[in-house]
Structure 1
Amino acid sequence: MSRVEERLREEMARAVSGVRPAPDPYGRLLRRKRSRRPFGIAAVVAVVVAGLVGGQALTAGGPGPDAMYDFRPTLVLNERTRQIIDAPTRGDRADRAGAVADALNANRGKWGVGAEFDRLKVLFVARAGERWGFGAAFYNRDAAVYVGAFGAEGKSAEELIADRYTNTQTGDLSEFNAISLEDATVAFTVPGCDAQVAAASVVRTDGTVEHTWVGEGDFAVLPRADHLWRVVCDGVVRETGFRNLGRTRMEVIPAAERGTADAGIAAGAFDSCPVVPTLEVRRWRVLWGGTPPGEQRPVVVVLGMLDGGAALVCAVAGAGRAMMAADPSGGPRLPGGQLTTAVAASDALVTVRLAHESRQGYSDRLLVIAPPAATTVRVTGGPDEQVALTGGVGVIEAPYPAKLGLEALDASGATLATAGVAEPSGADFLIAGEPIVHNWD
């Protein structure tokens, strides 16, 4: 594995995935802007992704009682993560913090935590679904190692720790952390901040999504579910991200409605297309396949139809296992296909940003799929005022992020469909129109 791929996969273990005791198909791609310290061996991330998306992902299990290496955190403690450590122990079983600390200190060798992390803080002790458990941090002045365990009621802290390969987590401590169990989710963030969950979502006409947010405070235990979270501190959105995004498994790949879709790329598009909470897909379609103007790689576009005629849009460019085409650091493109996503208010006029051909990120080109009879698309707000279409398909030059108005016209000049593009500024990348933000600096 190249250093670039290693770095990208490490980062992808973080933004849309949560702290969890089992691998998740999506992970954080965001490059943290705060300083890092070279702690040596990085966390072993058991996530090999076909696509991706805040919060910190913690790996399941880890070195057993005969640990051969120490876990080394990759994140330096900052003002906000120190606030998490300094806060009183949270949760409805916080009175057990002393017993938990004794058990952790007596069994620290089972976690693979280095001796230099000479301090311990129990962050929370709580009941979660049919289990109880805890989260804690071994730390020093520079960094922290998060450890956690959950198990059946009636088990002692020692028993939870002993069952390392099913009940425990080990990893970095981040500003927002979410632990997904079989029947519950535990989330915690900086004291005084509000971790909010999207309870409902509606696709707007400009291809953005409006959410109804429910505040859960700085510590929450919720029923197990896929979640879109955001964290608000003093009125500022510090982080947004998905947790446990699912993927679509298609027994039979639908035929392409337009163009010619490579079967392997189409299968990869379904396999990597993120299933977004609060946007329930009713039906899947392969809208179009082919090589867009100016592209060297074949592209397949699939739609997940939503209520009201809106659609989740996923496009994969190139053959091979698809990876999300987003790398804020601008690294070179990795082998395989590249996935880009969007939402559309209607399937009559669909736009999705194309992946960059030479690096792991977005290009300055938007693929447009209009009605087959459309011969041109009129553009407002971009460098191109009008773009020719072939069979209703074309490419608009528009640097990311773009805010455009589109009008598809037939040969007589009649309007066949209209749509908007409103890619938000200040986002590291987008998943299904949602800006993924990590703004803790």
Structure 2
Amino acid sequence: MADEIRQALARLAEPVVPQPDPYQRLLRRVRRRRRRQTAATGVAALVLAAVTIPPVGVLGLLRTDEPTLATAAYQPASPIDDPMVRRLLDSPTRGNLAGDTALIATIEREYRAARAELLVDPSLGDVRVLFAHDAPGARVVVVAYLDDSHALIRQSTGPEGASVPELLGQTGTPDEPQELTPYLFFGRYSRVDGDQPDGLAVGLAPAGCRVETSNDGRLQPDGSVVRSWQLEPNDGFVVQAGMPGGRWQFTCDGIVRYAGPARIALRTNLPIASATRPDLSVSAVRELRDMLYGDGLTGSTPQVLWTGRLPARVADAPAAVLVRSCSADGGCAALLKADARALAGPESAVLTFDRTGIGSADLVAVPLAGQTAGVLVAGPESATRAELIDARGSTVTDGPLTGGIGFFEVDSRTIAGVRVLDSADQPLLTAATPHLTADSYEFAEPTVWAW
């Protein structure tokens, strides 16, 4: 049994194992070459003293076909072609370690010496520490290499209190040129054993920008959000550790440059039982809760509205569950989660098939997989029929509801509202469904990018 479980987990994990980073492979070869050169130089010095054989001859005997430091490729620097980018690069060192001048000097010196290992063009003569910060469980540094017209950024996240050599060992080397932007957002997020968060999110903008955060958004029945913002005490940056979530807002020179989610990525480590026999209801409740938290929205504990199978027109009619959470203002977020292993095939790493909807405690509509697959309507239990209407108020399709639940084969993007009726064919309520037209997976406001 244990072997079967391990094999099953290996099959699930195999498709998502990342391929080796080519720059990291090159970096390892460069480091090995550097160690061999150092050792060979010492041997050559002894030989020269004894028999006057030129050191280069000894080095030539030890050479392999691997790239040397002189021929190793560098990641191309990017042009500084935006005033806001220049403003970021000219910002003073920030973070709670900025005042440790000895540490900052060491970071600058060691990163300058490590140009070749970090695949940085040596013509970028200026090295600046843009950010140095200790957060619970992590130390973060951001270093810029630049000249008058081009620059390249390197960032590292190590253990809290990590030494500079440790940070160098954790410094990323992207496998392709990176566009310079006036902001740097990066981090990690994981959940261990279900509920123990171990994450970090960092947002860095030019000095002088105002940063605000929000975690109290209340979803309205029409899909809008009411929330307040709290000003961060930092100059143009924000750091969240533990379980990053909520919304960030960066305002520079009176213009909102970014307003959107704080969380960078999500990784959940499931217990073996959950991985081999997933409970869709448990997974859906957890996922909806995480989505609301990530969007900075408040709501009730998600409740299961419906479980069953999707219509036969959806391939293999997978098992599915609909869960919902409502805010104090009556707006509700819904998540339809289907077991998509049958849909995706045994070799796929995609195990679930999710769609979202927005509505009220009385009525919510969620699109099915595929834009033309249809819509699931969940209304009052007393509702026996639903009409799906377009933006002009014309009925696009209608059909029966069983216990308030029904599936409708229609292009969800054409539906602007739903009308539900009782057994006497009397209207119970009508609600707009802007989320269907927008075809958005997020619950919160649209993300603003205005850099």
TM over 0.5: same fold?
yes
Q: Which residue of 2 aligns with 1:211?
A: 227
> After superposition, where does 1:95-174 map in structure 2 within 5 Å?
95=99, 96=101, 97-115=104-122, 119-129=126-136, 132-139=139-146, 141=149, 144-153=152-161, 156=163, 158-162=164-168, 164-165=169-170, 168-169=171-172, 172=178, 174=181
Amino acid at match of 1:431: E
Work out whether residues 203 and 209 of structure 1, in 8 Å CA contact, stay in contact via their aligned partners in 2. Answer: yes
Structure 1: runs of 5+ lacking an equivalent: 1-41, 46-58, 254-261, 324-333, 357-361
* Higher share in helix: 2
Q: Residues 199 and 335 of structure 1: is their aligned pair in 2 closer, same or farther, counting only changes over 3 Å?
A: closer
| TM superposition shift of 1:204 | 0.5
> After superposition, where does 1:86-97 map in structure 2 within 5 Å?
86-95=90-99, 96=101, 97=104
Work out whether residues 94 and 125 of structure 1, in 8 Å CA contact, stay in contact via their aligned partners in 2. Answer: yes
Q: Residues 413 and 128 of structure 1: is their aligned pair in 2 closer, same or farther, counting only changes over 3 Å?
A: same
1:352-389 Cα offsets, whole Å, 9 max, x none, are 23443xxxxx5595432223533123636356436313
Q: Which residue of 1 aligns with 2:363?
A: 349
Q: Distance in 1 between matches of 2:186 and 2:94?
A: 15
| Secondary structure class of the residue paired with 1:351 | strand
| TM superposition shift of 1:105 | 0.8
Q: Residues 210 and 159 of structure 1: is their aligned pair in 2 closer, same or farther, counting only changes over 3 Å?
A: same
The two structures, once aligned, show a CA RMSD in angstroms of: 4.8
More relative contact order, 1 or 2 (CA 8 Å, 6+ apart): 1
Alignment TM-score, normalising by the size of structure 1:
0.62
* Higher share in strand: 1
1:204-249 Cα offsets, whole Å, 9 max, x none, are 1113332222233512344543222233443335442340565786
| Secondary structure class of the residue paired with 2:449 | coil
> After superposition, where does 1:47-66 map in structure 2 within 5 Å?
63=27, 66=31
Q: Which residue of 2 aligns with 1:385?
A: 395
1:159-212 Cα offsets, whole Å, 9 max, x none, are 4335x25xx555556443345475764421234433332221212111333222
Alignment TM-score, normalising by the size of structure 2:
0.61
Amino acid at match of 2:304: R
Amino acid at match of 1:352: V
- Percent identical pairs in the alignment equals 19
- Given the alignment, which residue of 351, 355, 363 partners 1:340? 355
Q: Which residue of 2 aligns with 1:431?
A: 442
Q: Distance in 2 between matches of 1:364 and 1:232?
A: 41
> Based on CA coordinates, which of the two structures has the bigger radius of gyration?
2
Q: Distance in 2 between matches of 1:307 and 1:130?
A: 33
Q: Distance in 1 between matches of 2:157 and 2:273?
A: 40
Does residue 82 of the first structure (1) align with residue 103 of the second (2)? no
Structure 2: runs of 5+ lacking an equivalent: 1-18, 33-66, 189-197
1:377-405 Cα offsets, whole Å, 9 max, x none, are 36363564363133331438577597x44
> After superposition, where does 1:193-342 map in structure 2 within 5 Å?
193-216=209-232, 218-227=236-245, 228-233=247-252, 234-244=254-264, 274-277=290-293, 278-279=297-298, 282-285=301-304, 287-292=306-311, 298=317, 300-306=320-326, 308=328, 311-316=332-337, 319-320=340-341, 338-342=353-357
Amino acid at match of 2:237: F
Amino acid at match of 2:236: D
Q: Which residue of 2 aligns with 1:367?
A: 376
| Secondary structure class of the residue paired with 2:260 | strand
Q: Distance in 1 between matches of 2:306 and 2:202?
A: 39
Amino acid at match of 2:166: L
